[in-house]
């Protein structure tokens, strides 16, 4: 399973635009430098002339080796003088060349490897980012940050059945999530957030997503109901070109699934969710899962294997306290 034709086209267009932009900027710099240093243009013409003469020498024959050595010496002398001229005026030969985003493929999107053309890592990254953006277009990714997470809503008095106060618990969770986002890599650990509604699980998940996206990683945030609906729709779709969600969910750097357990559960949806999470775990890629359900209820819905394999390998963050959303509403 690969990416849709729409995602591939958008991604290739992005790479092409990078290449064109780099070359346009290089042309602009060259024109500016030639205007300031007219002699530089003449040096480029002479250096190019040496290359043309070398080609003609090979075709013409005769004492080719001697002629080529002579042209090589002449070209090297011209290049040294050219570089000196540019340097004296505050420029370098690098200023005359395109500054490509990807130095590996020069923004072509493909490289030669073992005598065959293969996709460059830069195009692979753009494919993931484009596919993530497509899946995230209806997600509230811009709504929550660490800066607007208010710990003042959590009680500092410890309940008798809790090991610490809600404030202490959420302060620790907040620090962990902030550090997780700031130090995120595609090999970071998975997180399982568990607790009643209105305690900040979604807010902190979105805050992590915002920070990780700023650092250039591909993130997908999706609710469990939306995810299983999309997977089910693709599974039974006749248009196989649209069956790309599972690939994107596997390829992204961070997958965040909110409200696990609120989706309509069937044998297909349970298996589909397990397959997505398990595929990421096998690749060492992190997933953040949020749920309002207890572990016993999750095990009833998804099986003991699900709890053991998926949740058992994640860092568990337990949220408890009063519903913050209700407190905020009462303030209005």
The pLDDT, as a whole number, for residue 322 is: 78
136/219 Cα distance (integer angstroms):
8
Four-CA torsion 322, 328, 331, 332, nearest 10 degrees = -150
Which positions ≥6 away from 181 have C-beta within 8 Å?
Answer: 146, 207, 208, 211, 212
> Backbone phi, then psi, for 244, in 5-degree steps?
-125, -5
> Average per-residue pLDDT in the chain?
86
CA distance from start to end of the chain: 49
Query: Is residue 130 domain-resident?
Result: no
Same domain flag for 259 and 315: yes
- Does residue 192 form part of some domain? yes
Residue 181's pLDDT band (cuts 50, 70, 90)? very high
Q: Which of 87, 118, 149 is the last residue of a domain?
A: 118
Q: Which domain holds residue 48?
A: 5-118
Q: Looking at residue 218, what DSSP letter applies?
A: -
Q: What is the mean predicted confidence (pLDDT) over 1-8?
A: 67
**Residues 12 and 44 grouped into a single domain:** yes
Q: Is residue 96 part of a domain?
A: yes
Residues 93-123 have pLDDT tens digits of 888 899 999 999 999 999 988 888 899 999 9
> HSE on the CB side for 261, CA within 13 Å?
21
Q: Is residue 124 part of a domain?
A: no
pLDDT computed for residue 327 by the predictor? 66
pLDDT tens for residues 288-330?
999 998 888 888 888 788 888 888 889 999 998 877 766 666 6
Note the pLDDT of residue 144: 82
Tokens of 144: 């929550």
For the cut 70, the answer to whether the pLDDT of residue 239 exceeds it is no
Are 308 and 243 in a shared domain? yes
pLDDT computed for residue 1 by the predictor = 41
Same domain, 112 and 193: no
| Strand-by-strand arrangement of the 191-194 sheet | 219-223, 254-260, 287-291, 191-194, 315-318
Domain contains 123: no
What CATH number is attached to the domain comprising 288?
3.40.50.300
Query: For residue 162, what pLDDT band results from cuts at 50, 70 and 90?
Result: confident
Burial of 80 (0-12, 13-18, 19+ CB in 10 A): exposed
Clarify whether residues 98 and 203 are in a common domain.
Answer: no
Residue 243 has pLDDT above 80, yes or no: no
For residue 253, what pLDDT is reported?
A: 92
User: What is the predicted pLDDT for the residue at 234?
Assistant: 80
Same domain, 174 and 102: no
Give, to the nearest 10 degrees, the angle between helix 5-36 and helix 121-136: 120
Q: What is the pLDDT of residue 245?
A: 80
DSSP per-residue codes, 157-178: SPPTTSSS-HHHHHHHHHHHHH
* % of the chain beyond a pLDDT of 70: 92
Q: What's the structural domain count of the chain?
A: 2
Q: Are residues 160 and 248 in the same domain?
A: yes
pLDDT > 90 in the chain, percent: 36
Contacts of 168 (CB under 8 A, 6+ apart): 156, 158
Of 68, 87, 118, which residue is a domain's last? 118
Structural element, H or E, at residue 27:
helix 5-36
The answer as to whether 153 is a domain residue is yes
The predicted pLDDT at position 304 comes to 81
The answer on pLDDT for 189 being more than 70 is yes
- Same structural domain for residues 144 and 114? no
Token output for 272: 């589909």
Q: String of b and e for 115-126 (b: at least 16 CB within 10 Å)?
A: eeeeebebbebb
pLDDT, average across residues 270-288:
90
**pLDDT tens, position by position, 32-66:** 999 999 999 888 888 888 888 888 877 777 677 88
Q: Do 69 and 188 fall within a single domain?
A: no
Is residue 157 in a domain?
A: yes
What is the C-alpha separation between 284 and 185, in angstroms, rounded?
Answer: 11
202 plus 309 within the same structural domain: yes
Confidence check: pLDDT of 331 > 70:
no
Contact 214, 187 (CB under 8 A): no
Q: Are strands 110-113 and 254-260 parallel, antiparallel or unpaired?
A: unpaired
Residue 154 sits in the same domain as residue 104: no
Q: Is residue 28, in this structure, part of any structural domain at all?
A: yes
Do 167 and 309 lie in a common domain? yes
3-state secondary structure of 260: strand
| Pairwise CA distance, residues 65 & 59, whole Å | 12
Q: What is the pLDDT of residues 200-212, one digit of tens each?
A: 999 999 999 888 9
Q: Are strands 116-119 and 254-260 parallel, antiparallel or unpaired?
A: unpaired
* Residue 88 CB burial class (10 angstroms; 0-12, 13-18, ≥19): exposed
């Amino acid at each position: 399973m690969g990416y849709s034709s729409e995602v591939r086209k958008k991604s290739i267009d992005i790479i092409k635009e990078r290449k064109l932009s780099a070359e346009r900027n290089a042309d602009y710099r060259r024109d500016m430098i030639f205007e300031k240093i007219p002699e530089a243009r003449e040096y480029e013409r002479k250096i190019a002339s040496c290359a043309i003469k070398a080609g003609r020498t090979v075709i013409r024959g005769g004492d080719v080796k001697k002629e080529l050595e002579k042209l090589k010496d002449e070209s090297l002398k011209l290049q040294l003088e050219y570089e000196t001229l540019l340097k004296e005026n505050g420029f370098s030969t690098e200023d005359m060349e395109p500054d490509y985003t990807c130095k590996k493929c020069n923004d072509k999107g493909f490289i030669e490897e073992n005598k065959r053309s293969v996709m460059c890592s830069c195009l692979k990254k753009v494919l993931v980012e484009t596919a993530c953006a497509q899946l995230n277009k209806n997600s509230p990714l811009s709504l929550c940050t660490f800066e607007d997470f208010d710990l003042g809503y959590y009680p500092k008095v410890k309940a008798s059945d809790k090991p610490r106060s809600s404030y202490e618990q959420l302060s620790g969770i907040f620090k962990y999530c902030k550090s997780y986002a700031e130090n995120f890599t595609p090999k970071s650990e998975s997180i399982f957030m568990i607790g009643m509604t209105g305690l900040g699980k979604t807010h902190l998940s979105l805050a992590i997503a915002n920070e990780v996206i700023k650092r250039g990683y591909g993130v997908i945030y999706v609710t469990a109901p939306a995810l299983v609906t999309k997977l089910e729709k693709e599974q039974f779709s006749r248009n196989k070109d649209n069956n790309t969600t599972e690939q994107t969910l596997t390829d992204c750097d961070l997958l965040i699934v909110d409200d696990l357990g609120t989706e309509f559960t069937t044998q297909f949806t349970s298996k589909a969710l397990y397959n997505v999470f398990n595929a990421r775990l096998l690749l060492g890629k992190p997933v953040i899962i949020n749920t309002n359900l207890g572990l016993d209820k999750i095990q009833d819905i998804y099986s003991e294997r699900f709890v053991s394999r998926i949740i058992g390998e994640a860092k568990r963050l337990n949220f408890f306290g009063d519903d913050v959303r209700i407190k905020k509403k009462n303030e209005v």
